[in-house]
Amino acid sequence: MAEFTLSRRTLLTLFGAAAATPVLAACGSSVGGGSAGSTGGGATGPVKVGLVIPQSGVYAALGTDMQRGWDLWLSQHDKKIGGRDVTTIVADEGENPQTGVPAVQRVLQADQVDVVVGLVNSATALGAAPVVSEAKKLLVVTNAGAADITGKARTPYVWRTSFQNAQVAAAAGPYLAQQNVQGGVFLIAPDYAAGTEVRAGFKAAYEAAGGKIAGEAAPPFGTTQDYQPFLSQIRQSGAGAVFCFFAGAEAVRFVQQYAQFGLKDTVPLYGSGFLTEGGVLTAQGAAAVGVKTSLFYTDRLDNPANRVFVDAYRGAYQAVPTCYSVSTWDAAAVLDRALGKATALDGDALSAALGGVGAIDDSPRGPWTFDGQNPRQTMYLRTVEGTPGSLYNAVTADLGQKAQV
């Protein structure tokens, strides 16, 4: 299945349909680019950034949001990062490491970029880590949430501005324990690495706070169209609430089927924020109203930086920003600080500079700092409100600052 997408794009290019497709036209082209009025010279020469994001396959929608976050930051800052003119090379990450890692290699070798930004897929990020380490270039991960990226498989060259899967899930644990859910919480997430991290992260935090897990399920990832057997299991478990992790089309199906099978009104649904983030929320419609999720961002956050950010984003794209946009916007923001200090553009210099950026106080998500190479950031409990067509994640509770797990 995965290979289909790779060849899908290759095939289309072969058939010459590329010219007709705006998405493809952006592929490999340069966005941004140095402007005529650059300061130029010395330590403030241009910097080349490889933005590796999915433009095809199931994650393509995330890629769009990420690119918008990046482009918006540049357009708000005179197309300069750390005083240097920026050239952005966009490459298609695709769905999996088979397409993503070569894309990273390509921007490093063929395009000679100084910094790589992006990556949705955790396996791709883990596969890209040795590549950037060997090249001694900096990689700023702006989505992929596997713990190992900044944990067990840590290298000085890979930093992350997004989140850790377990960090997001664990934030909801103490909150649900305080709610004293009768019958305990049922835990469900797909049977792949991220799902497992979410289940482990939530379970540890919830049980540590005195909660009781009523049951667990791990539906097959990517091939489950129908959640009825698992919904049946939830009903039988007698759980008083459900915590789940799903993304993309699976998030839409799960939330809708949860409502269709009548669980929505009797067993409150909680989840990691990706469940109701971005385009999936529109598709879920009325079924999503009342679903509560934990995440480090929602466009409804009431802080000055976010108000400016959301207005600018709406103005530029006629859409609301997502956590994916913010993570990439923040990648530009931290690079701006690091490049301002660093004397060179190699990975060692930039990694050292990133270690000293301190608190990022102008982020739309609120203030955050690097804890190791991953953000220490405030998590929020969000509740879906509004009516179909204009649904949004309202802030219900501040779950406090969370370090990486």
Partner 1 sequence: MTGWVAANLISVLNGLAIGALLFVLAVGLSLVFGMMDVLNLAHGALFVVGAYLAAALTGGGASWGAFLGALGLAAVIGLLGGGLLSVMTEPLRRRSHLDQALLTLGVALIVAELLQIVFGDDPLAVPAPPGLDGSTSVFGAAYPTYRLVLIGVGAVLAVGVWLLVERTTLGALVRATVADRDMVAAIGVDNRRVKITVFALGSLLATVAGVLGGPVYGASVGLDSTVLILALVVVVIGGLGSVRGALVGALVIGQIESLGRALLPDLASFVLFGALALVLIVRPRGLFGGRSGATA
Cβ atoms 51, 89 nearer than 8 A:
yes
Residue selected from 212, 236, 314, 400 as contacting partner 1 according to rule CB under 8 A: 236
249 binds partner 1 (CB under 8 A): yes
29 binds partner 1 (CB under 8 A): no
212 binds partner 1 (CB under 8 A): no
402 binds partner 1 (CB under 8 A): no
- 3-state SS string over 238-300? CCCEEEECCCHHHHHHHHHHHHHCCCCCCCCEEEEHHHHCCHHHHHHHHHHCCCEEEECCCCC
394 binds partner 1 (CB under 8 A): no
**For helices 323-341 and 347-355, what crossing angle results, to 10°?**
100
Return the residue matching tokens 């380490």.
133
285 binds partner 1 (CB under 8 A): yes
Least distance to partner 1, CB of residue 230, Å: 7
Both tokens assigned to 389: 């067509």
Rounded distance between C-alpha atoms, residue 203 and residue 311, angstroms: 38
How many CA atoms are closer than 13 Å to the CA of 23, on its beta-carbon side? 14
7 binds partner 1 (CB under 8 A): yes
Residue window 54-83: x/- pattern of binding to partner 1, with contact defined by CB under 8 A:
--xxx-xx-xx-------------------
Rounded distance between C-alpha atoms, residue 28 and residue 25, angstroms: 8
Residue selected from 219, 240, 271, 375 as contacting partner 1 according to rule CB under 8 A: 219
279 binds partner 1 (CB under 8 A): yes
223 binds partner 1 (CB under 8 A): yes
Residue selected from 77, 136, 154, 235 as contacting partner 1 according to rule CB under 8 A: 235
Rounded distance between C-alpha atoms, residue 337 and residue 306, angstroms: 19
Q: How far apart are the first and last CA of the chain?
A: 33
4 binds partner 1 (CB under 8 A): yes
Residue selected from 28, 45, 222, 340 as contacting partner 1 according to rule CB under 8 A: 222
**For helices 97-109 and 2-14, what crossing angle results, to 10°?**
50
373 binds partner 1 (CB under 8 A): no
- 3-state SS string over 1-29? CHHHHHHHHHHHHHCCHHHHCHHHHHCCC
Cβ atoms 51, 33 nearer than 8 A:
no
By CB under 8 A, which span of 159-167, 277-285, 346-354, 373-381 interacts with partner 1?
277-285
Least distance to partner 1, CB of residue 95, Å: 8
Least distance to partner 1, CB of residue 55, Å: 9
Least distance to partner 1, CB of residue 270, Å: 20
Residue window 37-56: x/- pattern of binding to partner 1, with contact defined by CB under 8 A:
-------------------x
Measured from the CB atom, is 240 or 366 closer to partner 1? 240
Subset of residues 107 to 136 that bind partner 1, contact rule: CB under 8 A: none
Residue selected from 48, 84, 137, 253 as contacting partner 1 according to rule CB under 8 A: 253
How many CA atoms are closer than 13 Å to the CA of 395, on its beta-carbon side? 16
Least distance to partner 1, CB of residue 116, Å: 22
> Which residues are bridge partners to 86 per DSSP?
47
Subset of residues 321 to 340 that bind partner 1, contact rule: CB under 8 A: none
Cβ atoms 241, 266 nearer than 8 A:
no
Both tokens assigned to 57: 């396959």
Q: Among 213, 218, 159, which Cα is nearest to 350's? A: 159
For 391, the 3-state DSSP assignment is strand
Residue selected from 146, 280, 301, 379 as contacting partner 1 according to rule CB under 8 A: 280
Element (DSSP H or E) covering residue 139: strand 138-141
Measured from the CB atom, is 249 or 359 closer to partner 1? 249
Residues in the site for partner 1, rule: CB under 8 A? Answer: 1, 4-5, 7-9, 11-12, 15, 17, 21, 23, 56-58, 60-61, 63-64, 191, 217-220, 222-226, 228-230, 232-233, 235-236, 248-249, 251-253, 256-257, 260-263, 278-280, 282-285
